[in-house]
Structure 1
Amino acid sequence: MRSLALACCVAAFATASLAQDVEVRSGRHDDFIRLIVDLPRRMDLKIEQREDIATVIFPDQQLTFDTDPVFRRIARDRILDVTAGPGKSSLEIRLGCRCEVSSFWHDSSLLVLDVRERSDEVLAADTVTEVEFSEQENDRPIDKPRLKLPRNGSSFAASLANSQLQSASPVETPPIKPVDKPAEDKASPNTEIVSEARERLVQQIGRAASQGLLSPRSALKPTIMTKPEAKETTSGGLSVETPEEPSATQPKSIANLRAQSSIDRDFLDVMNRRIGSMQISSCPGDNRIDVGSWGTDAPFAQQVGSLRVVLTGEFDLLNQDAALRLVKLYLYYGFGAEAEMALAQIEQPSDDLALLQSLAEVMEDGYASTNSALTTHLSCDGNISLWAILAYQSLPTDVPIEIDNALRTFDALPRHLRRHLGPTLSRRFLGAGYQEASDKTLRILKRHEETLTADAELLIAESDLAEGEAKQAVNRMNEVVASNSEHSVDALIGLIDAALEAGQTVSFDHAVLAGAYAQEHRGSPLENKLIRAYLAGLSASGAFDQSYEEYSRLATDLPPEALTDIQSQLLHQLTQRADDVTFLRFALLKHSEHQQKLPGPITNATASRLLDLGFPEAARPFLETDTLGDAGRARRILRASAALAEGRPRQAELDLTGVEGRDADQLRAQARSALGDHHAATVLYSSMGEHDRSLRQAWFAEDWNRLVESEDTAMADIAALVSLSENEPDTTPEIPANPKSERVLAHNRELIQQSLAARDTIDAILQRSPSPDTERP
């Protein structure tokens, strides 16, 4: 009994162990969704489709499907769900549309399933519900419904087309029953339509044949169906199978035609001439670039020493195999320069040497040279995808990238290579816009490492800064700067740039440290960046005297583009942070010339501050050249303001030509007022809703009628008095020679009251509004 139980357990374990894991991935295209089934090999399969469910059946197989990656890249619209069917031998695809599932093999083991919308013709025809093909077939299976053309004994074209469609289908179907010619006295209503279509088809075939677009593919003689025994090889190395010839037993199959358009003919002619020089890029196998297996856990000195012992043999001849293994060992440890030196000793060229050379460049510089042996394999599966990504200095955006394969390969690398390459890989993804892939790379680093490298900490700080977490980013950068590592320089530059971008002050100690690093890295690519950080940091810390003194000392060794950038930073910090005296001193002495190359917003801000301080002539050099965009419009406004401040209203109006907006209209009103056209200024201010200024201009224009209608009672009263005295005639009655005393007293009393009312009105105006003599627009 125990033996029987043990045998059952062993059998169950053996059965379970035979089940093979199969990953199902997905990808979205414009008009279809593609599923990739990563099988261990090609195998027999069958597809059954019933309305909204398509089932892919693998007979007599034990497969475990991993469908988790399916919906990482696609939404649940055309495909609602993908699950493993019962019995570990089928895959069910639940459809959310009126779609059809087609399939074909790629490479040696990838099954491709395309899910696309059915066309109107397919929906109207009878759909083939089962498709069967085996692993021996290399071409895409034809699983679309076959077109059935009516034919009769007098139509050779229709029977020919039917016979060709029948022979091209891999699915066994019953032969099409010929349509008998209807009797003349019982004509079918479709007879004329079928006859017309048949004649049109014959005419088109004849026309194509006469133009050379339709020609026999092989001899028109009946033969027995045979399978090709050998493959023909073209000059370009492409193998072409001889097509099968139809048997004489099939109806109307004695002719075999090939149809092509004139575009196809010319295109194929060019391709045939060039195919001999074409090189088909294939993906290298994982065994050719498995960097993680090129070394062991043994001490480095022991591994290198054992190879160096056998590196040279008798007569000092180089052991090529030992040299190749030494190159791979250096790459395993990330020593790119040493690997390049060892590669230079190998004299036998091969494709593997080109791959190793590119890997050495990646290890040493962080990217490979242009047109390296790695850059053409971005879309390849396997280990090569990771190294192809690292080979680019900046990833292209128009090439599909196998990100998941690259991340799996990166995760499987030895710890020292992950620490070395992880920040570079994350930056490569981030620069190409693959934010999620960059985050995944950082998560892999954090999962495996208790303490991250300074480069990884710097990368996380850059990511935090991009996401708006400035405080966390600054803290991480400060830690990297304090670590005094090789990445402290980059962290210091990033720290100063972040402060400048945010408009914050920079620590004087950080600015001085940047100057020390600039002296240390003289002649390196970092020198100009460090000088910029040094001088801009001094200005942002408030040390303007020292910043301009250092600028005068270092400017002679800087290229023109670096000078322009540094001048812009110095002028910006001076305008934003310096007191008035310091600002005027350095703006007039250090920046009075050569301002046309500086950014428009910065020079505009400097000119605006000079105008506010009452120096329109000093502001004019900053406004001489034109610029584009919003800065260009602002510059024209500033020019007009400077012209008004200089007493040139007509020049101000000329500067405002074509400029619209409230600020431009205010300057135009001031220019009109300065020219004495107070009526125009009144209208302009009134259109902008500035009633106080409009009333003042109406006062200057003596427009009493407008002032009488004003809501300001004091202004209306004085306007009414003036208007009454100017427009009404003198109606004061003449006083008789001997008037009575009562009439004289009443008249004088009335004059006194009018005088008191006018005096009260003038006092109210003086109290509520400033005098026109003290404020002129």
Structure 2
Amino acid sequence: MIRSLLTVMLLCATTSPTAAQDVRVRSGEHGNFTRLALDIPADTGWSIDQSSSDAIDVRLGGENIEFDLSRALTRLNEERVLGVSELPGDQGIRISLGCACVAEAFLANDRMLVVDIRRGISSPQASTVDQSPARVADEAATSETPSLSSVRIGQNPGIGPKNAGNALLPDFNELVQGPRPFESESQSAATGLDPGVFEHMLAEQLATAATDGLLDSAMRSLPKAGDSHVEQKVNVSPLSSSQETPEKKAARAIEAVISGREPGNMQSHIRIGGATCVAERDLDITSWGGDDPLADTIPALRGRLFGEFDRLDRDVVIGLARAYTSIGFGAEARAVLDLDSDTQDSALFAIAGIVDGYSDRAGVFAGQTNCDGPAAFWALIGSVDLPGNAGVNQKAILTTFEGLSLRMRTQLGPRLATRLAEEGFPDAARNVLSRLERATGEINDDMMFSKAQIDRLNASHDQAHEILNAIASKSGPNAPEAMAQAIELATENRERVNSTLADLSGAYSTEMRDTEKGPDLWLAHLRALTANGQYDASFGQLFDKPNYPRSIRAKATTDLLTLLTEQAQDTAFLKHSLARTDGYDGLASSKSALLVAGRLLDLGLPEPAKRWLDFEGIDRTKPDVRLLSARAHLAQAEPEQAEIALIGLKGNDALSLRAEARRMMGDYSYAAEAYTTLGNTENARRSAWLAGEPNLGGGERDALSAAMRLRQDTIPDPASNAPSLAVAETVAGAGADTRGTIRALLDATRLSAE
């Protein structure tokens, strides 16, 4: 029975058809072209056929493919694409055209087939593009990959393949223009570059820069195809990956890596022609909510949010989000904006985040701190830091601040003051707090916390520490952060943390361990324990939070090791620096690792010191690392290796180590000269004595130099000289001097009674 069942199952498995593969078709309008994207399985062959002027056929080479066309037309108008339908056999789709259009197709990320459709005339000679696996294999076998290090000269010099452009960016149709009235043929020939080609190249580069966020565009409409002086140039070959040369494929692969980089700090983006400020009419936040937003405006707008057939009214969405933002309800504003994904108001979305304490992560106000209107205010308060050359229009910022409602000034004022102080404007920061104090008639915890930040940034540590301790000792939203900063300030000044703060840090780190502030509070608690000498407790918890961000764990490791090395007794230092060396590797900063290695060398432990010098992130070519490495080699009686580590280094530290290495190798003359240069008289005399050259030790008379001179004194030989009173007197005097020199040498080298 079981054997029969297995046989049936085996037959079913071998005869069942391959599972169907779903291919979703998505689309969207992109200015002068329409894009369709097909999510296809990996390694699927495809072809595109435009043998007819009113349709484009896209076929896939897989089996049992099912197309999902539910979203194929949701975002399209009928300017270029009228419809999308399946071809017979479930192996492709037909795109019905509503214009004289051409198609360009390519693969993106190996799993997305992109078809771009724009106006143009299809070329019958290149109307079919085949991207089957067999053809790709043939092309790979018959083509040679260009060298990435080849040097190109001429009009577009460079190294490696030419830039083929980003496949996901739109290609620009060249415009054939008539004669230019202000340009002669001689001028065109003198430039060496066809003006039409230059315009084409410039347009593509500007599009790439705009897509990467490097510039803001102010688009003007292009000339229409029906204008008398312009006509569309025939696109003779649709762009596809199958028609690219190997050189273009290599260039596209390189650019894909470059284009995939993270944008980084949005505040440092370059804007050609200067910064474009967000218009003042789009930032009139005081008029967004009306006289009483909570009682009148917001309830009225909520009732009109959904119109006929439960469709969102986009104007109401914008109005309601603005009303919420005007009273500081940023989370509610963003929730309303999220209801309609098609709503495009980047400035409103950015402000809704800023009023809730977030930064302008999208860079809507990047580079606008020097604007004359409200954009300067939102650019500063929404930034984390600014580039060094960024200008700050204090007048515009303070004017915008004064124009806000009292509620918004109370909410944003302390943060604005802190940002001004962080950018080097402490007087303006204190001015903001003074204005806010006069307007509200009090100083709340947010204002006190901001004042502490200003004092700390201006090196008024005592005042900052006093304010932070006062805020941390009572409950409030700023208490945990004030506690953490007070502990950080104490550890920076190498002071002990008072017992109240230390206990609070333990309570906060436990109570809020799963919150956003948990990692920072955990770090503060470890700092407090280490600053107070509780090394077993702090290092015992250092590896207890592997799920915390690596940056926080690295900061904790660095701070704890620094405090341990600088303050702990030898026993505690050795216990915690040697117990989990491998665990510190990759987390400790280079500076803290070198600090630990230096103290280990001071204690005569070169082998573990060399392990710390091998930590991840340490640049072994830096002078301070090479000096420590030389010390380790000398401690292990490896003077030759120490000399190698010191090659090219100058300065007294390097000379001292080089002298010790030469002394160990027997070059006492060099060692004596080096010690003399360093002013180390004792080592210089010892090296000179060993070298047998008393004059190298500085020339001063002492027991060692006198002993060396005994070797150089000549005594008359009685066998070769006739006896005389002069010879006898010389021999007697030399004997007395020798006895005195030996007696002085013995006295100088006598061990103490202890």
Structure 1 unaligned regions, length at least 5: 1-205, 215-259, 737-742
* Alignment correspondent of 2:701: 712
Report the alpha carbon displacement of residue 720 of structure 1 after superposing the two structures with TM: 4.1
Report the RMSD for the aligned CA atoms in angstroms: 4.8
Q: Deviations over 1:444-476 (max 9, x none)?
A: 334434433323322222221221111111112
> Is 2:686–2:704's contact at 8 Å kept on the other side of the alignment?
no
Evaluate the alpha carbon distance shift between residue 698 and residue 276 of structure 1 in structure 2; reply closer, same or farther with a 3 A threshold. Answer: same
> CA separation in 1, counterparts of 2:741 and 2:353?
90
Question: Alignment partner for residue 487 of structure 1, among 467, 478, 482?
Answer: 478
Evaluate the alpha carbon distance shift between residue 382 and residue 627 of structure 1 in structure 2; reply closer, same or farther with a 3 A threshold. Answer: closer
The 3-state SS of whatever aligns with 1:473 is helix
Evaluate the alpha carbon distance shift between residue 758 and residue 558 of structure 1 in structure 2; reply closer, same or farther with a 3 A threshold. Answer: same
Evaluate the alpha carbon distance shift between residue 465 and residue 292 of structure 1 in structure 2; reply closer, same or farther with a 3 A threshold. Answer: farther
Q: Does 1:656 align with 2:646?
A: yes
- 1:63-82 equivalences in 2 (<5 Å): none
Question: Alignment partner for residue 452 of structure 1, among 437, 440, 443?
Answer: 443
> CA separation in 1, counterparts of 2:278 and 2:518?
41
> CA separation in 2, counterparts of 1:630 and 1:456?
47
> CA separation in 1, counterparts of 2:621 and 2:468?
34
> Is 2:293–2:327's contact at 8 Å kept on the other side of the alignment?
no
Q: Which has the higher contact order (CA 8 A, sep 6+)?
A: 2
Deviates more, 1:596-605 or 1:537-546: 596-605
> CA separation in 2, counterparts of 1:651 and 1:377?
56
Q: Does 1:359 align with 2:351?
A: yes
> Is 2:669–2:696's contact at 8 Å kept on the other side of the alignment?
no
Report the alpha carbon displacement of residue 579 of structure 1 after superposing the two structures with TM: 0.9
> Is 2:689–2:705's contact at 8 Å kept on the other side of the alignment?
no
Report the alpha carbon displacement of residue 410 of structure 1 after superposing the two structures with TM: 0.7
Report the alpha carbon displacement of residue 308 of structure 1 after superposing the two structures with TM: 7.1
Deviates more, 1:267-276 or 1:640-649: 267-276
Q: Does 1:332 align with 2:321?
A: no
> Is 1:464–1:470's contact at 8 Å kept on the other side of the alignment?
yes
Question: Alignment partner for residue 665 of structure 2, among 659, 675, 691?
Answer: 675
> Is 2:593–2:615's contact at 8 Å kept on the other side of the alignment?
no
Q: Does 1:730 align with 2:718?
A: yes
> CA separation in 2, counterparts of 1:341 and 1:584?
55
- 1:295-444 equivalences in 2 (<5 Å): 295-296=290-291, 327-342=321-336, 356-368=348-360, 370=362, 372=364, 381-383=372-374, 385-392=376-383, 394=385, 402-431=393-422, 437-444=428-435
> Is 2:526–2:542's contact at 8 Å kept on the other side of the alignment?
yes
* Alignment correspondent of 1:693: 683
> CA separation in 1, counterparts of 2:626 and 2:473?
48
Task: Give the TM-score normalised by structure 1.
Answer: 0.55
> CA separation in 2, counterparts of 1:391 and 1:650?
57
Question: Alignment partner for residue 524 of structure 2, among 533, 543, 549?
Answer: 533
Q: Deviations over 1:354-378 (max 9, x none)?
A: 6544433332343455165x66976
Report the alpha carbon displacement of residue 408 of structure 1 after superposing the two structures with TM: 1.0
* Alignment correspondent of 2:630: 640
Evaluate the alpha carbon distance shift between residue 616 and residue 460 of structure 1 in structure 2; reply closer, same or farther with a 3 A threshold. Answer: same
Report the alpha carbon displacement of residue 328 of structure 1 after superposing the two structures with TM: 4.6
* Alignment correspondent of 2:81: none
Q: Deviations over 1:421-462 (max 9, x none)?
A: 112323444555555654543343344344333233222222
Evaluate the alpha carbon distance shift between residue 537 and residue 209 of structure 1 in structure 2; reply closer, same or farther with a 3 A threshold. Answer: closer
Q: Deviations over 1:64-117 (max 9, x none)?
A: xxxxxxxxxxxxxxxxxxxxxxxxxxxxxxxxxxxxxxxxxxxxxxxxxxxxxx
* Alignment correspondent of 1:291: 286
> CA separation in 1, counterparts of 2:487 and 2:591?
21
Q: Deviations over 1:313-351 (max 9, x none)?
A: 99999999988766554333212223344556789x887
Report the alpha carbon displacement of residue 704 of structure 1 after superposing the two structures with TM: 5.5
* Alignment correspondent of 1:211: 185
The 3-state SS of whatever aligns with 1:557 is coil
Q: Deviations over 1:542-580 (max 9, x none)?
A: 10011122224x143334444333222222121111111
* Alignment correspondent of 1:181: none
Q: Does 1:575 align with 2:569?
A: no
Evaluate the alpha carbon distance shift between residue 629 and residue 456 of structure 1 in structure 2; reply closer, same or farther with a 3 A threshold. Answer: farther
> CA separation in 1, counterparts of 2:687 and 2:389?
64
Give, as a single letter, the amino acid of the residue that structure 1 aligns with 2:358.
G
Evaluate the alpha carbon distance shift between residue 337 and residue 654 of structure 1 in structure 2; reply closer, same or farther with a 3 A threshold. Answer: closer
> CA separation in 1, counterparts of 2:616 and 2:317?
64
> CA separation in 2, counterparts of 1:395 and 1:429?
11
The 3-state SS of whatever aligns with 2:355 is helix
The 3-state SS of whatever aligns with 1:611 is helix
Give, as a single letter, the amino acid of the residue that structure 2 aligns with 1:331.
T
> CA separation in 1, counterparts of 2:648 and 2:325?
65
- 1:600-639 equivalences in 2 (<5 Å): 600-624=590-614, 632-639=622-629
> Is 1:575–1:605's contact at 8 Å kept on the other side of the alignment?
yes
Evaluate the alpha carbon distance shift between residue 642 and residue 508 of structure 1 in structure 2; reply closer, same or farther with a 3 A threshold. Answer: farther
Deviates more, 1:586-595 or 1:612-621: 586-595
Q: Does 1:275 align with 2:220?
A: yes
* Alignment correspondent of 2:464: 473
Report the alpha carbon displacement of residue 714 of structure 1 after superposing the two structures with TM: 4.8
Q: Deviations over 1:744-771 (max 9, x none)?
A: xx9999866654443333333444x446
> Is 2:286–2:403's contact at 8 Å kept on the other side of the alignment?
no
- 1:496-515 equivalences in 2 (<5 Å): 496-515=487-506
> Is 2:282–2:347's contact at 8 Å kept on the other side of the alignment?
no
> CA separation in 1, counterparts of 2:616 and 2:304?
72
The 3-state SS of whatever aligns with 1:364 is coil
Report the alpha carbon displacement of residue 618 of structure 1 after superposing the two structures with TM: 2.9
> Is 2:606–2:636's contact at 8 Å kept on the other side of the alignment?
yes
Deviates more, 1:490-499 or 1:696-705: 696-705
> Is 2:377–2:401's contact at 8 Å kept on the other side of the alignment?
yes
Report the alpha carbon displacement of residue 696 of structure 1 after superposing the two structures with TM: 1.7
The 3-state SS of whatever aligns with 2:442 is coil
Report the alpha carbon displacement of residue 648 of structure 1 after superposing the two structures with TM: 2.6
Give, as a single letter, the amino acid of the residue that structure 1 aligns with 2:742.
I
> CA separation in 2, counterparts of 1:416 and 1:398?
33
Q: Deviations over 1:248-283 (max 9, x none)?
A: xxxxxxxxxxxx9999998889889962179x9896
> CA separation in 1, counterparts of 2:729 and 2:376?
108
> CA separation in 1, counterparts of 2:535 and 2:316?
62
> CA separation in 1, counterparts of 2:187 and 2:696?
89
> Is 2:634–2:642's contact at 8 Å kept on the other side of the alignment?
yes
The 3-state SS of whatever aligns with 1:506 is coil
Give, as a single letter, the amino acid of the residue that structure 2 aligns with 1:652.
A
